[in-house]
Amino acid sequence: MLSGARILVTGPTGQVALPVTRALAADNEVFGIARFRDPAAREVLEKAGVTCIEANLAQGDFSAVPTDVDYVLNLAVVKSNRWDIDLAANAEATGLLMAHCRNAKAWLQCSSTGVYQPAGQHPLKETDALGDNHRVIMETYSIAKIAAETVARLGARQWELPVTIARLNVPYGDNGGWPAFHLAMIEAGQPVPLHPERPNTFNPIHEDDIIRMIPRLLEIATVPATTVNWGGSETASIEAWSALLGELVGREVSFVETEQTIGSVVIDPTRMHELVGPTEVDWRDGMRRMVEAQR
């Protein structure tokens, strides 16, 4: 892990960012920026040693944010489903904050494999076509993420700020995630939605692997930006992890096929393995731990 560094994290109360921020705060001076509408969420971070700074990404006012940080982890995501807000908070804010922290050693831009054109079971490489992958459930999400990537690429060149763009697949862990939503549905006796093109396959990545990979993702940052997939080294389907979750909580699992959900997004992890290394948490063990933490 990193130690003795000054690190800025955006969206530190989020599902992915919270465990990352708390882990980094153990050995670094960490600043977290968010709106902090929930005092309890802020208190959790402050108890971990994080300096919390109120900032609205959509407004782009970073006057209270220090400029002399070593690293920036842009982990925030705004999903209001309003184009003006989501483009401002995800894309424009990236550029404005990069300008503010232009002297940092490296910048990690957390993107999503939701930027890829849907391709079924085809393992997606970083060079594959981009598209409006998540429109069926979040109209603005994929386009806003693509826009944010573009701004980050520009920022790397404009300010010679080394950047890594990491396209995250299905993050999960003790702090929740998409499989945790499926867990709640199973416990409530509701059917888990599946895309008709089955199996519904992804590369879930546990928060422990996310935390462990952060230093290396910063280390490989370059000008122009480096883009890399970020997901589990092994694939798993919603069908398989739902069956395991049902077994763990002693509930029957049912499914419903619908076009109104995300289809498979499978990554090719070759470049990730070359640049960052493989993940270590087996998805079955990770899901068991998630159930224990969540319930």
22-37 pLDDT, tens digit each: 999 999 999 999 999 9
Calculate the CA 124 to chain-centre distance: 17
Predicted pLDDT of residue 136: 95
Predicted pLDDT of residue 112: 98
- Ramachandran bin of 214, using left for φ above 0, alpha for ψ from -120 to 50, beta for the remaining angles: alpha
Predicted pLDDT of residue 295: 82
Is the alpha carbon torsion for 278, 282, 287, 292 positive or negative?
negative
Residue 162 CB contacts under 8 Å (≥ 6 apart), including other chains = 105, 106, 107, 156, 221, 222, 223
- What CA–CA distance (Å, rounded) separates 292 from 155? 42
Residue 61 CB contacts under 8 Å (≥ 6 apart), including other chains = 55
The CATH classification number of 6-172+204-231 equals 3.40.50.720
Residues of the chain with pLDDT under 50: none
**Is the preceding peptide bond at 123 cis, omega within 30 degrees of 0?**
no
Question: For residues 34 and 87, is the Cβ–Cβ distance under 8 A?
Answer: no
- What CA–CA distance (Å, rounded) separates 71 from 48? 19
Predicted pLDDT of residue 1: 75
Predicted pLDDT of residue 151: 98
| Closest listed residue to residue 171, CA positions, set 52, 14, 23, 291 | 14
pTM for the model stands at 0.98
Q: What are the C-alpha distances in Å from 66 to residues 69, 108, 235, 256?
A: 7, 17, 40, 49
| Count of beta carbons in the 10 Å neighbourhood of residue 51 | 15
pLDDT tens digits, one per residue of 91-136: 999 999 999 999 999 999 999 999 999 999 999 999 999 999 999 9
- What CA–CA distance (Å, rounded) separates 53 from 46? 11
Residue 242 CB contacts under 8 Å (≥ 6 apart), including other chains = 182, 186, 192, 253, 255
